Amino acid sequence: MTALQPVIVGAGPAGVRAAQTLVAHGLRPVVVDEAPRWGGQIYRQPPAGFSRPGRTLYGFEAGRAEALHAAMADILDRVDYRPDTLVWSAEAGRLDLLSRGRTDTLPYGQLIVATGATDRVLPFPGWTLPGVYSLGAAQVALKYQGCAIGSRVVFAGTGPLLYLVAYQYAKAGAQVLAVLDTASFKDQAAALPYLLRQPAVFAKGLYYLGWLHTHGVPVHQGVRLLRATGDAQVSGLYWHDGRSEYRLPCDAVGFGYALRSETQLADLLGCRFRYNTLQRAALPECDAAGRSSVPGVYLAGDGAGIMGADAAEWAGERAALALLADAGQAVNTARAATLEKQLARTAAFRIGLERAFPFPCDWAAHAPDELVICRCEEVTAGELRQCSQDTGAREMNRLKALTRVGMGRCQGRSCGAAAAEILAHACATGPDAVGRLRGQAPIKPLPFAAMLPQDGETA
Amino acid sequence: MGLLMRVAETGRTPVRFVLNGQALTALAGDTVLTAVLTNSAQLRNSEFSGEPRAGFCLMGACQDCWIATESGQRLRACGTLIEEGMRLVTGVEAAPRSNIGPNEMPSAGTLT
């Protein structure tokens, strides 16, 4: 057997289960995570000194959250755990790290990339105003800090998270003025046969919706978001229901359109990508076990395509088993087959979720020219359209070079999906035909000081 | 006027810090973002339009919550915990664009 030097990036559901599986086979993986404590975004642990119980923080998922936290706590002495550590670049056999202001390199023999997801954002005019946050941000504020994003909050967009966050806020005592869903009742009815494949998950969704109704939170479906207004902070949200325009005075808006995979690391590692029509994004290719197109690099969890937290746990374990098997270790093949079956079932359920909360395909057509698409570099939809028209640019990296869209600090994490929609619409084609923003190092900003020779080193 | 509203976990130890010269109080375990935005409605100004910003994703992806200390050090507010005696300033523009981001490697980012 070859010497194994496994590294896992990410300590959410996929990363923790992958680590646990490797440890169970006698390995000592390095686990690198940007967060100060394990759990990922969904099972994010509050800082020390917070006291709310798991039931309050994680609701129906408290059991799963606590099991995942315990799984990692159990193996802490058998992993090289590196919290507060950013992987800012990667190449074959090596990761570049930043931790507490200092850079370092980490060699790897095998790598499991479990980088998770962030909100998929389709902006509206006024989305850069203070008080307007992503849905995920609204949830982090509550779960991790015990704060609401405002005192009179509107939640908007679409996706399962929309109803969950609204429910969590109302339950925590925040005033939720309305839930504005761009999906229609018709969409949700059409999705029913798929959703019923996972009745327990479906029942939770119905519970949140029912709870909002009985607690007087208005839910409007089939809406289109028009704009947010305000000076120093947001003071109102305008929306349309297909017949009339409405204005809702508020001091905070949380919005998002499901999730997008965090794929920049897989990209830097040279993984082959393929456009996924269901997820409306280019994703790193992998087989049912999580093997990417690059030998020794495995993908697991939402970073390889949005499948949700339960599937991420299975995918993390499955990828670790693949890593072990590829290195010649004996693994439980029956367990591997079971995990693949569970993942396949989840994939069918995801089709239902995409139908219930469809991507608003007419978003780009309605986006006004003055809409800021890229909040880092403040590039508008009109500038993107003009550039495409003037130069013939039909590809995202070309558009980036010409307009700076996606070139700022966020590296397209916030604006990439929206910019691709605008370009595709301008070219009268689909988002599959405009390419994808290439990942570039550093994927997140580095301080100058970290790049200078450090103590005891010479330049 | 603060942007964020505390709805739980209010019994934590107070932490004193200074924002724009004014002495304020946060709670132990607050991020810099929470400490500032429970007291104020902005963290920074956009270096292009000059408009106020107060973060967006709260999970280290959007990079729209960088804030400066009085000594000029830059912190990502959503990922840094507040410390006793921290002296912060809002409304400072981020570093000049010629220094920003991967396309200016090897200077690689900015923010100090």
Query: And the tokens for B111?
Result: 């923010």
Positive/negative CA dihedral, A41, A45, A51, A56: positive
B29 Cβ under 8 Å from any chain A Cβ: yes
Interchain pair A50, B56: CB under 8 A: no
pLDDT the model gives residue B93: 54
B108 sits in the region (left: phi over 0; alpha: psi -120 to 50; else beta) called left
Contact at 8 Å (CB) between A367 and A381? Answer: yes
A415-443 CB burial, b ≥16 within 10 A, e <16: bbbbbbbbbbbbbeeebbebbbbebbbbb
For the segment A282-292, the average pLDDT, to the nearest whole number, is: 98
B109 Cβ under 8 Å from any chain A Cβ: yes
The whole-angstrom separation of Cα A423 and Cα A432 is 11
Residues in chain A with CB shorter than 8 Å from the CB of B31 are 144-145
| Residue-wise pLDDT tens digits, A24-65 | 999 999 999 999 999 999 999 999 999 999 999 999 999 999
Residues in chain B with CB shorter than 8 Å from the CB of A129 are 51-52
Interchain pair A47, B29: CB under 8 A: yes
For the segment A285-293, the average pLDDT, to the nearest whole number, is: 98
- Supply the pTM of this predicted model: 0.94
For residue B1, being part of any structural domain is answered with no
Question: Does CATH number 3.50.50.60 belong to domain A121-257?
Answer: yes
pLDDT confidence tier of residue B105, bands split at 50, 70 and 90: very low
The whole-angstrom separation of Cα A263 and Cα A115 is 7
Q: Which residue of A has its CA nearest to B30?
A: A145
Structural Rg of chain A based on CA atoms: 22
More confident of the two residues B107 and A384: A384
Residues in chain B with CB shorter than 8 Å from the CB of A251 are 3
Question: Alpha helix (H) ranges present in A86-230?
Answer: 135-145, 160-171, 185-195, 199-214
Residues in chain A with CB shorter than 8 Å from the CB of B62 are 134, 375, 410, 413-414
Residues in chain A with CB shorter than 8 Å from the CB of B45 are none
Residues in chain A with CB shorter than 8 Å from the CB of B50 are none
Interchain pair B9, A128: CB under 8 A: no
More confident of the two residues B107 and A40: A40
pLDDT confidence tier of residue A368, bands split at 50, 70 and 90: very high
Dihedral through CA A216, CA A222, CA A224, CA A229, nearest 10?
0
Domain boundaries of chain A, sorted by first residue? 6-118+260-353, 121-257, 363-433
Percentage with pLDDT > 70 across chain A = 98
For residue A330, count other CB atoms closer than 10 A to its CB: 8
For residue B7, count other CB atoms closer than 10 A to its CB: 17
Interchain pair A232, B102: CB under 8 A: no
Contact at 8 Å (CB) between B45 and B36? Answer: no
Interchain pair B4, A134: CB under 8 A: no
pLDDT the model gives residue B96: 42
A84 sits in the region (left: phi over 0; alpha: psi -120 to 50; else beta) called left
B23 Cβ under 8 Å from any chain A Cβ: no
pLDDT the model gives residue B63: 94
Least confident of A29-43, A145-159, A187-201, B51-65: A187-201
For the segment B67-80, the average pLDDT, to the nearest whole number, is: 94
DSSP string, A81-104: EE-SEEEEEEETTEEEEEETTEEE
- From the list A50, A43, A35, the residue with the least C-alpha distance to A70 is A43
For the segment A325-353, the average pLDDT, to the nearest whole number, is: 95
Say whether pLDDT at B103 is over 50: no
Say whether pLDDT at A459 is over 60: no
pLDDT the model gives residue A453: 66
How many contacts does A have with B, using Cβ atoms within 8 A? 180
The answer to whether the peptide bond before residue A442 is cis (omega within 30 degrees of 0) is yes
For residue B3, being part of any structural domain is answered with no
Residues in chain B with CB shorter than 8 Å from the CB of A445 are 63, 66, 100-101, 109-111
CB-facing half-sphere around the CA of A48: CA atoms within 13 A: 3
For residue B9, being part of any structural domain is answered with no
More confident of the two residues B98 and A395: A395
The whole-angstrom separation of Cα A363 and Cα A372 is 14
Of B5, B66, B80, which to mutate for an interface test with A (greatest number of A Cβ within 10 Å)? B5
- From the list B82, B75, B105, the residue with the least C-alpha distance to B26 is B82
Domain that includes residue B51, residue range: 14-92
| Residue-wise pLDDT tens digits, A133-169 | 999 999 999 999 999 999 999 999 999 999 999 999 9
Say whether pLDDT at B91 is over 90: no
Helix (H) or strand (E) holding A75: helix A62-75
Strands (E), chain B: 5-6, 14-19, 22-27, 44-45, 52-53, 66-69, 74-76, 87-89
pLDDT the model gives residue A365: 98
Q: Which residue of B has its CA nearest to A262?
A: B61
**If you search the block for the tokens 């994004």, which residue do you land on?**
A281
For the segment A179-202, the average pLDDT, to the nearest whole number, is: 89
Residues in chain B with CB shorter than 8 Å from the CB of A128 are 46, 51, 53, 56
Q: Using the 8-state DSSP alphabet, how is residue A45 labeled?
A: P
Domains A6-118+260-353 and A363-433 share a fold: no
Count up the domains in chain B and report the number.
1
The whole-angstrom separation of Cα A372 and Cα A120 is 16
Q: Edge-to-edge strands of the sheet including A224-230?
A: A224-230, A234-240, A245-249
- From the list A374, A406, A449, A414, the residue with the least C-alpha distance to B110 is A449
CB-facing half-sphere around the CA of B52: CA atoms within 13 A: 18
Say whether pLDDT at B104 is over 60: no
Interchain pair A50, B9: CB under 8 A: yes
The whole-angstrom separation of Cα B63 and Cα A44 is 19
Say whether pLDDT at B101 is over 70: no
Interchain pair A147, B105: CB under 8 A: no
For residue B18, being part of any structural domain is answered with yes
Interchain pair A232, B42: CB under 8 A: yes
The amino acid that residue A85 corresponds to is T
pLDDT confidence tier of residue A447, bands split at 50, 70 and 90: confident
User: B22 to chain A nearest CA, in Å?
Assistant: 20
ipTM summary value: 0.95
Question: Does CATH number 3.40.50.720 belong to domain A6-118+260-353?
Answer: no
For the segment A94-120, the average pLDDT, to the nearest whole number, is: 96
pLDDT confidence tier of residue A413, bands split at 50, 70 and 90: very high
pLDDT confidence tier of residue B53, bands split at 50, 70 and 90: very high
pLDDT the model gives residue A455: 57
User: A220 to chain B nearest CA, in Å?
Assistant: 24
**Interacting residues of A310 by C-beta distance below 8 A, sequence separation 6+:** A13, A64, A346
Which residues 38-77 of chain B have a CB within 8 Å of chain A?
38, 41-42, 46, 48-49, 51-64, 66, 74
Contact at 8 Å (CB) between A448 and B112? Answer: yes
Interchain pair A118, B49: CB under 8 A: no
A276-287 CB burial, b ≥16 within 10 A, e <16: eeebbbbbbbbe
Residues in chain A with CB shorter than 8 Å from the CB of B48 are 377-378
What CATH number does residue B74 fall under?
3.10.20.740
Least confident of A185-199, A326-340, B93-107: B93-107
CATH annotation of A363-433: 1.10.10
Q: Which residue of B has its CA nearest to A260?
A: B61
Interchain pair A408, B41: CB under 8 A: no
pLDDT the model gives residue B97: 41
B13 Cβ under 8 Å from any chain A Cβ: yes
